[in-house]
A and B are shown apart, each in its own frame.
Chain A
Amino acid sequence: MTTLPEPSGVKLGLVIDLDICVGCHACAVACKEWNTAAYGAPLSDQDPYGADPSGTWLNRIHSYEVTPEDAPQNAPPQIVHFPRSCLHCEDAPCVTVCPTGASYKRAADGIVLVNEDACMGCGLCAWACPYGAREMDAAEGVMKKCTLCVDRIYNENLPEEDREPACVRTCPANARHFGDLGDPDSDVSRMVAARGGVDLMPEQGTKPVNKYLPPRPKTRETPPPARPDAEEAPGGFLGWVDRALALLD
């Protein structure tokens, strides 16, 4: 029977900095590439070159134009890119509703996984997950989800620096971080404490392990002053070229 394990001290998870994320989708692509050949392989696509392609993606990025509630009047909106994947909740409803025990949470590190061999593809976990983090692989007929790259992070065949989730390893903006959120002295825990990291929809009571670092407040009440030298005529060789070209007009 699938039950949630007693919480151990270790809570592996991600910290995603919404202030830094530029929405490049590199994490989603890296995730797809790694997992297509790894734990949840294959991640199928349907009609990939057609008019209405769809497929199994364990990490999806959504972009929003947001105006914070406390922003001054007429403040311009800011863009927030929101990566969405499994949050490896401590009280994971997807685990407790699974009729066959295919969905489970590891006691040792808190990672939520699906044993695809035991999955019937009933979809109840997708129904139970308030974050929409479950993906039905339409070709395999089973549920798939972020594995936190369990086959990378413990893989001793990989160099030490590669033993982190593919999305974290590839993020060009360094917006994604991986670590033990159960250890208050870990880098990720200190980052969460320093930046006021938040749970996604804590009111759902799922106690997600992954944390989001909120965008820093933008102060755009008045536009930044122009550089004092901006109006000065350029000097030197480039200034001479500029003036010479202006004569040709």
Chain B
Amino acid sequence: MADIPERPPVMRGHPGTREISGRIASIVLKGQMPRFFWLAFLAAFLLVLVLFTTVAWLITQGVGTYGINIPVAWGTMLSNFVWWVGIGHAGTLISAVLLLFRQDWRASVNRFAEAMTLFAVAMAALFPILHLGRPWFFYWLLPLPNTHMHWPQWRSPLVWDFAAIATYGTVSLLFWYIGLVPDLAVLRDRAKNRAAQLFYGILALGWRGSAFHWARFDAVYYLLAVLATPLVVSVHSIVSLDFTYGMAPGYHSTIFPPYFVAGALYSGFAMVLTIAIPLRRLFRVEDLITKRHIDNGAKIMIAAGLIVAYGYAAEFFFAWYSGNPAERMMAWQRLVGPYAPFFWVMLACNVGVLQLLWFRRVRLWMPALFVISLLINLGMWLERYVIVVTGPSTGFLPAAWGTQSLQWVDFGVFFGTLGAFFALMFLFLRILPAITIFEVGELADERREA
């Protein structure tokens, strides 16, 4: 096990701005990827092919090919959706909220966390489309004048979902891209070949780094941070309203918005650590993404995870306290019903494994933390699945009970989106700087001055 320093620093050593920009830019410009990088990309790409195949099958054969069964109208498509949206939340928290709170430790991790947000939201956006009986009509959710005389009904939570995800995706993309502009200019200036100069030059939008540019940049960047901050809370709250509007036991509950937001941050930080731990090792940037970052991420997971655990307890308490037999039946079914194995594994991962993070040695031991992050990712997916299926499957009316069963399409779509997500992450690591050059440079300057 690693030695435990008193409090790991935000940055190890005293590198200069030039050294930092050179190191980070060379990862992209020289293209010297770590061993197995392209092999891992190929594996992810194969999963993308699985996604295409499964989606083609799903669209041509219909939604009956995945295990939905009325009244369980939405199966894994909704649990995948909620899981992926949740993954994105950590990126927004790191990039926007921590920026406004002037937390300097965000500088090394915000760029790839924002990329993670963007790709996770892209994956999430697939599911509200794929779950439709007629997915080719998804554009009816857009407020577009059309000849069909359809207009989205704003009383419907599905329309709120669409608006929330579209807003989140747009703001995340703008925030990510605006933050990239100074770094793209660095890449443009450091690129040796003409194609790279042109590519990064066009993307850099003529950035020269003048005081005027920086003033404009700060105004826009902080404005976007202010716009993105409420989205950390609002997006998953709106997603949770899909459930609270459903008349099924366990759904019609006021606890859902905070419970979902905490769950989103929990799973999001688990994914940040899942990416950060191998990233810092493989690209040899342990001095920039230090154990301080990892430790802070783990501490946020403890806080979010405890709120989630409280949510589990509250669900059971209110099921009992309501005195409603249907609510009690739903809670009991979670413990012993057909989905009980999922529930117990979920509890073991999200509440049991979480307790290990109280120990500082565990938080600073990278292999253990990596495994814990993976388990929490699994647990959070199971949580969403358990919530989605147990309510409607044992609804208020026993005559309308039904169960959802996992089919190969469920697995194909989920693992396909995982492949697409990581394929996009690999491309991002290859093409764009995964660590913010200018912010880490500023941090280094501040440290040198101090």
Contact = CB atoms under 8 A, between A and B. Distances in A.
A138 B24 CA distance: 52
Interface residues of A, number: 44
Contacts of B128: 122
Contacts of A138: 62-64
B248 A142 contact: no
B157 A97 contact: yes
Contact of B137 (A46, A98, A120, A204): A120
B418 interface: no
Contact of B70 (A3, A119, A126, A142): A126
B16 interface: no
Interface in B310-361: none
Contacts, number: 139
Contacts of A54: 64
Q: Which of A100, A135, A137 has the most CB of B within 10 A?
A: A100
Nearest to B64: A138
B64 A126 contact: no
A134 interface: yes
A167 to B, nearest CB: 16
A141 interface: yes
Interface in A122-179: 122-124, 126-143
B397 A201 contact: yes
Contacts of B137: 120
B397 A132 contact: yes
Interface string A97-125: 11111000000000000000011111110
Interface string B24-46: 00000000000000000000000
Interface string B150-166: 11111111110010000
Nearest to A129: B247
B318 to A, nearest CB: 16
Contacts of A142: 133-134
A1 interface: yes
A168 to B, nearest CB: 20
Interface in B212-230: none
Contacts of B73: 123-124, 126-127, 134, 136
Contacts of B396: 130, 201, 204
A2 interface: yes
A135 B153 contact: no
A122 B131 contact: yes
Contacts of A140: 133
B150 A100 contact: yes
A43 B245 CA distance: 28
Given A93-B247, A101-B153, A123 B397 contact: no
A128 B245 contact: yes
A141 B63 contact: yes
A124 B64 contact: no
B248 A130 contact: yes
Nearest to B154: A1
A26 interface: no
B74 interface: yes
B400 A141 contact: no
A216 interface: no
A2 B158 CA distance: 14
B258 interface: no
Contacts of B62: 138-139, 141
Nearest to A204: B247
Contacts of B68: 123, 136
A122 B133 contact: yes
B71 interface: yes
A67 to B, nearest CB: 15
B166 to A, nearest CB: 14
Contact of B400 (A84, A97, A119): A84
Given A62-B399, A130-B248, A1 B155 contact: yes
A60 interface: yes
B246 A127 contact: yes
B140 A99 contact: yes
A46 B153 contact: no
A99 B152 contact: yes
A100 B245 contact: no
Contact of B133 (A60, A93, A99, A141): A141
A96 interface: yes
B156 A97 contact: yes
B134 A2 contact: no
Interface in A50-102: 54, 60, 62, 82, 84, 93, 96-101
A130 B73 CA distance: 12
Given A123-B68, A135-B70, A138-B62, A82 B399 contact: yes
Interface in B121-158: 128, 131-135, 137-138, 140-141, 148, 150-158
A30 to B, nearest CB: 19
B392 interface: yes
B158 A99 contact: yes
Nearest to B141: A99
B395 interface: yes
Nearest to B77: A123
Contacts of A1: 151, 153-155
B156 A132 contact: no
A134 B397 CA distance: 13
Contacts of A46: 64
Q: Kindly list the 10 A-B residue pairs having the minimum CB-CB distance in the complex, ordered from nearest.
A: A121-B133, A132-B400, A141-B133, A138-B64, A123-B73, A126-B73, A99-B156, A130-B247, A62-B399, A99-B158
30 contacts: A1-B153, A1-B155, A2-B155, A84-B400, A97-B155, A99-B159, A99-B162, A100-B141, A118-B150, A120-B137, A120-B140, A121-B132, A121-B134, A124-B156, A126-B70, A127-B71, A127-B248, A130-B247, A130-B395, A130-B397, A131-B400, A132-B70, A132-B71, A132-B401, A134-B71, A136-B68, A136-B133, A137-B133, A142-B134, A201-B397
Interface of A: 1-3, 46, 54, 60, 62, 82, 84, 93, 96-101, 118-124, 126-143, 200-201, 204
Given A127-B392, A204-B396, 8 more contacts: A119-B134, A121-B134, A122-B131, A123-B133, A127-B247, A130-B395, A139-B62, A143-B133
